[in-house]
Structure 1
Amino acid sequence: MPRAPRLLLAALFALPLTAGAHDAFGPGIHTLEPNTLVPAGDLRYAPAARPDRIVASPSADPAYGFQVSWRTATGVDAPRLELVVAGDAPAVGEPRRLAARSTVFTTENGVGSQHQVAVDGLEPDTLYAFRVQGGNGWWSPWRQLRTAAAPGTPLEFLYFGDTQNKNASHGSRVLLEALRHAPRARLAVFAGDLVSGGDGEDDNEWGEWADIVAPVAATMLVAPVTGNHEYFEEFEDTPQERRVLGPHWRHMFALPDNGAAGTERTTYWFDMHDARFVVLDGTSALDLGTAAAQAAWLDGVLAGNPRVWSIVVVHQPMYSPREGRDNALLREHLMPVLERHSVDLVLQGHDHTYGRRAGDDGAATPQYVVSVAGAKQYRLSQEARDTMAPVGEDTQLLQVVRIDGDTLRYEARTVTGRLYDAFSLVGDGRGARRLVEHTEGRIEPRDCGRDATLKGRADRCWE
């Protein structure tokens, strides 16, 4: 880029002109951003009478119901959810009214109330509109989503790796781009580390996460997974140190009550169309001694699967593509169950790179995938380069999965919409799968183009 336009861009965006990294503005223009856009001391995310952070999540059978969580300030009397079958006219008719259960929740932004409602008794494959109540006459806008359909109906869903860092400034692009490529999606799966946490502004981070997810959450169910950043260290640097689930998790999400013993709040399963989805808690398995209990529970959930496809989501990978990481305990306890039941997809996060591979036996399933949606980007290990394909660094990604009969098609796309990875799993009608790679249109694998981060860390590409 000529010198004059570069100077003009620097003036417009108030960015320093320094040598080194390559980014969206061209060679040498970069800046270190804060983790949130909220200025210090600003109460942008203080609880208010207006309802916010509205998230609908699956029930165990989302053909007949779902669960909704939202937040307000305290003092909201008898908050409720209103529900109607969506119609073509603005006259919605007489709604069904459901009372919420409420809890008071204190954060850095003040004291608020979190409200949750279990919606049941619905009809399959039906478009419903709902809204939730706040205080002082406030209601949310009407939003609508379609209940799950019967087996045999095609299903489209989204999968995101870690959002975690700089959600508002960078993660928002990924969520919006995903909607362009999955206009009929009924589900969005987030593979853990939704926020970073631990920096004194956890509530701001959850507020920004809810904001960027809002366009997705307004039209489909959200299935979250706990990552290590959803936990914090209690009694840090003492013999009693242990992982404790952060308080936001149980307030932000209303989830199925069918999890493994010891991880009832963070493991669950549900069925949609032709697939059974199972959510695991890798942090609890690794750090809190629940790996064996989760494996036994997973074995039972998969053994009783009446659906054609099985998809397991866990934050920490079975095969880690980042240098220096090895989750051997997960491979010891969980991987034998995944392999024995020939799980189709194992969707993972944690390592802030991209990598895909089959198991050690080379069978088509499971396909183990690691991806990242957010701004933090790590570097690949040499082992990952040798055993995974494709792999990628320095790339924000989204994934679209479509299941139609005996075919599951997977696509990973960059934040700008370019195709990065694509394959299909094709069934033979007897439970076996054949892997078909789709290479046409894929861009070349991406590597990190800088020697260190803006903070000088050589083990990462971006903070």
Structure 2
Amino acid sequence: MRPNQTFDLTVDLVNAEDIQDARAVLQFDTDQVTLDRVHVADGTYDADEESVTLTMDDHAVLTFDVDRYVSEDVVIELTEAQVNDAVFFYDVFEAPANPPLTLEIDGRSIGTPTELTVTDRDGKPVEGVRFDVGTDPTRVEAIANTWAFTKEDGEFTRRWLPVRKGTSFQLLDEDERYARVIDDTETERYVRTDAIREVDWASLPVTDRDGKVRTERLTAFGGDVRLQAVSPDGDVSARWDGSIVSALGSNNPEHVTLTWSADPATSQTVTWQASPLVDSGALEVEGTTILADSELYYHEDGEVQVFQATVEDLEPGQSYTYRVRTDENWSETSTFQTASDDDFSFLFAADSQAQTPEQFELLTALLEDFATDEHRFLMHAGDLVENGDSLTEWNYLLDAVGAFARERPLMAVLGNHDVYGDGYNTFKQLLPYAHNGPAGQEGAVSSFTYGDAEFFLLNSEAEAEEMRAQADWLEEQLQTSDATWTIAMFHRPAYSSNPLTSGERTADIFAPVLEQGGVDLVLMGHDHSYMRTHPMVDGNVADDGGTVYVIGGSAGPKFYPGVSYEYTDVLYDDNEQVIVSFAITNDHIRLEAMNIHGETVDEYVIEK
């Protein structure tokens, strides 16, 4: 469905000869479409701005004009239909918005230069595109050199500030003589009304041959902005309705975090953040420099620049020193170690799910008290934060694991709280993992091999169809895996310890593949009380072999009651934070679960 398009919607009666005085009420969104005209073959209609009521014996044709700003699917809903005294309710029409131009915006924080890129449906740049812009509050600019004044107790002071022609302000209100404005220091001032005018956004340059424009005018202030690209031929993009937000980060590297996006034996991925105004970043490993990829990550909490670099061709089982750079500012030096074929240990936690730095200190305490030099990485089963739509909470999390994750990777899966709002994208941006999972689920589903173990990170927050694609992928991976041990992790448990969370799709979709494929260990979260099952095969407690499932309890402030079922071997629901240590050799996996006070709550060995 194209902006400015006109289309006909036909409402037909099937077996019209058997129907008399059929009645239908259709409702539509006037921000998307406008009803232009109605033709009823045999009957009448009554229309207002948002709906039309048809009374007919045959068919009707409704002509709609699509709004030029439409950016979401056009939906015309049949809210009521009555045929021979029978009443029906259902959607009648839905069409995806498909504007001919695509507008990409980089730089949407105060003081950050903005780059606008316009492409056509084939992804080719479009030259000569102008931009329709609207702001709230209204932007004004000085039309000549003038003065700005301040007031105290309702009276002008003698503190005058010279203002150059072209200086921009946000307009709060005005009368015949003076306008009350906000300057770029967020100070309220007054200027003469006849010395300013509304910003002429038509003066923004048009796109160059690469379809790009770079400007500092859009981000001079905060506030709401409406932006749409318009080509010389009248084609348009979807309109962006958003806000100019605060610029986050400093000129120094922040939130330095290790993950794996390639082979843990020969590579290491490092992610960090900095101000949107930082131009470049790099990773230095033992004197070798790798230029970082960077992306401006826009969020309603603010905009930050996220850097990512991966060093490859390393030697297995070796320690390396590294540091990262933003422009000319270096982080302190840290170390990491590549994987080897030796025995190893890792830590497992779930549901840190905190909102404040104080709450995240619980996770920090678990890592500080129980991590040893033998623990090579941290597995986290999701609900890393309380509100995935809060970038602030994600950075609290990175602060909480910072001392650990600067030297040992954080390997996590998505929980239901993590995907609130834009949390799914934030997760993928801040914690990059391998793109070796099923198509379309990159960053959320992946695998990695460490020593004698192959790990599978699954996404229980996906739709059922996507989860089935994960199960198919997992089945294929298990058939070709030559690892001694196979370990899977996802958030929602296939076997629950909470009576309120039973019946998850993971039981129907993931568990059969895990158990039939001989997976040794499955790590889960969500229930906020620690639980370990007996070995399971085909949904039953196994006499020999089988898959062991572990719910990690809570690494944060929230707890749920636990209940034992026939599959439960150990349940711990004493409302204490838990962390689990796993030690892996070529013939056994040893588990020790500890509460925050250092008390062992479970010990278990899986043998081969």
Partner of 1:3: none
* Aligned counterpart, 2:129: none
Match of 2:516 in 1: 340
Query: Are 1:209 and 2:397 matched, yes or no?
Result: yes
Distance across 2 between alignment mates of 1:312 and 1:219? 23
The percent of aligned pairs where both chains have the same amino acid is 28
Q: Relative contact order (C-alpha < 8 Å, sep 6+): which is higher?
A: 1
Bigger mean CA deviation after superposition, 311-320 or 100-109: 100-109
- Which of 278, 281, 285 aligns to 1:83? It is 285
Structure 2 distance, partners of 1:260, 1:328, is 21
The match for 1:437 is none
Alignment equivalent of 1:115, drawn from 298, 302, 307: 307
Which residue of structure 2 lines up, in the alignment, with residue 97 of structure 1?
289
Gaps in structure 2 of 5+ consecutive residues: 1-244
Aligned partner of 1:97: which letter?
T
- Map of 2:28 onto structure 1: none
Quickly say closer, same or farther: Cα 1:319–1:271, change in 2 above 3 A.
Answer: same
| Among 333, 340, 348, the residue aligned to 1:159 | 348
How far has the Cα of 1:218 moved from its partner?
2.1
Corresponding residue number in structure 1 for 2:366: 177
Residue of structure 2 equivalent to 1:376: 558
Aligned counterparts of 1:257 and 1:145: Cα–Cα separation in 2: 22
Shift of 1:288: 5.2
* Corresponding residue number in structure 1 for 2:603: 422
Looking at structure 1, the residues matched to 464 and 393 of structure 2 have their Cα atoms a distance apart, in angstroms, of: 25
* Structure 1: gaps spanning 5 or more residues: 1-42, 85-94, 234-243, 428-463
The CA deviation at 1:134 is 2.0
Structure 1 residue identity aligned to 2:412: P
- Whole-angstrom CA distance in 2 between matches of 1:64 and 1:192: 27
Distance 1:386 1:357, change over 3 A: closer
- Cα distance, 1:403–1:191 mapped onto 2, change above 3 Å: same
Measure how far apart 1:289 and its partner are: 2.5
CA drift at 1:386: 7.7
Q: In the alignment, which residue of structure 2 is the partner of 1:260?
A: 438
1:313 aligns with 489
Q: CA deviation at 1:424?
A: 0.7
- 2:282–2:324 contact (8 Å) kept in structure 1: yes
Q: CA deviation at 1:328?
A: 4.2
Structure with the greater alpha carbon radius of gyration? 2
The correspondence for 1:353, drawn from 510, 529, 532, is 529
**Is the alpha carbon distance of 1:149 and 1:387 closer, same or farther for their aligned partners in structure 2, counting shifts above 3 Å?**
closer
- Contact 1:69–1:116 (CA<8 Å) still a contact in 2? yes
Equivalent in 404, 410, 429 of residue 222 of structure 1: 410
1:168 to 348, 352, 357: 357
Work out the number of aligned pairs and report it: 357
**Alignment partner for residue 332 of structure 2, among 108, 129, 141?**
141
Letter in 1 for 2:353: Q
Alpha-carbon separation, structure 1, partners of 2:437 and 2:268:
17
TM-score of the superposition, structure 2-length normalised? 0.56
Query: d(CA) in 2 for partners of 1:385 and 1:227?
Result: 26
- Take 1:328 and 1:288, find their aligned partners in 2: how far apart are those partners? 11
Answer whether contact 1:49 1:72 (CA < 8 A) is retained. yes
1:297-340 Cα deviation digits (max 9, x unpaired)? 01111222121111100011001111222244222221111111
Query: 2:352·2:363 contact (CA, 8 Å) conserved in 1?
Result: no
Structure 2 CA distance for partners of 1:178 and 1:79, relative to 1, 3 Å:
closer
1:251 paired residue among 407, 429, 447: 429
TM alignment of 1:223-242, pairs within 5 A: 223-232=411-420
For 1:409 and 1:290, the matched residues in 2 are separated by 33
| 8 Å CA contact retained: 1:45, 1:109 | no
User: Larger % of strand: which?
Assistant: 2
**Amino acid corresponding to residue 420 of structure 1 in structure 2:** V
CA 1:328–1:163: 2 relative to 1, 3 Å: closer
What residue identity is the alignment partner of 1:403?
A: I
Change (3 A) 1:365 1:288: closer
Matches within 5 A, 1:20-31: none
Counterpart of 1:76 in 2: which secondary structure? coil
Map 1:40-79 to 2 at 5 A: 46-79=248-281
Q: Give a deviation string over 1:333-387, Cα, whole Å, max 9, x none.
A: 2111111122111000011111110321324431111122111111124x54883
- Which has the larger helix fraction? 1
1:252 and 1:385 map into 2 onto residues whose CA distance is 40
Task: Indicate if the aligned counterparts of 1:45 and 1:203 stay in contact, CA closer than 8 A.
Answer: no
Q: Does the C-alpha gap of structure 1 residues 217 and 384 become closer, same or farther in structure 2, counting only changes over 3 Å?
A: same
Shift of 1:172: 2.4
User: CA shift at 1:406, angstroms?
Assistant: 0.5
Whether contact under 8 Å (1:83, 1:97) holds in the other structure is yes
Cα offset, 1:191, TM superposition? 0.6
CA distance in 1, matches of 2:571, 2:529: 11
* Cα distance in 2 between the residues matched to 1:401 and 1:275: 12
